[in-house]
Amino acid sequence: MILGKPKVAIEADEQALPLYRTVEDGSGEATTLNNLGLVHHSIGQPQRAIAYYEQALSLHRAVEDRGGEAVT
């Protein structure tokens, strides 16, 4: 999270997602989705966090990123 500022972190991650998708960087996209999950978990939104974690895990698996899969 950016310096303990969840709103700023969410905005940054939401801006990064389309960029990763444009350049077809599945690992970067998955890591960003995982980061969104972490932030939402930290602000007491577990259901939203789980949704992001599930997307991240699926994408890590799709691009065969075992390290990313392990941390998600």
Q: What is the pLDDT along the chain (72 residues), one digit of tens a residue?
A: 566 899 999 999 999 999 999 999 999 999 999 999 999 999 999 999 999 999 999 999 999 989 888 888
Residue 28 lies in a domain: yes
CA 1-22-29 angle, to 5 degrees, is 35
Residue 60 lies in a domain: yes
* Domain with 35 in it: 6-71
Residue 65 lies in a domain: yes
pLDDT at 4: 81
Residue 33 lies in a domain: yes
**Token pair recorded at residue 65:** 């990123």
Q: What is each CA distance from 66 to 4, 32, 59, in whole angstroms? A: 28, 16, 11
Find, among 53, 32, 29, the residue nearest to 41 by Cα: 53
pLDDT at 65: 87
Domains identified in the chain, total number = 1
User: What is the model's pTM?
Assistant: 0.90
Residue 1 lies in a domain: no
Query: Which CATH number belongs to the domain containing residue 58 in this structure?
Result: 1.25.40.10
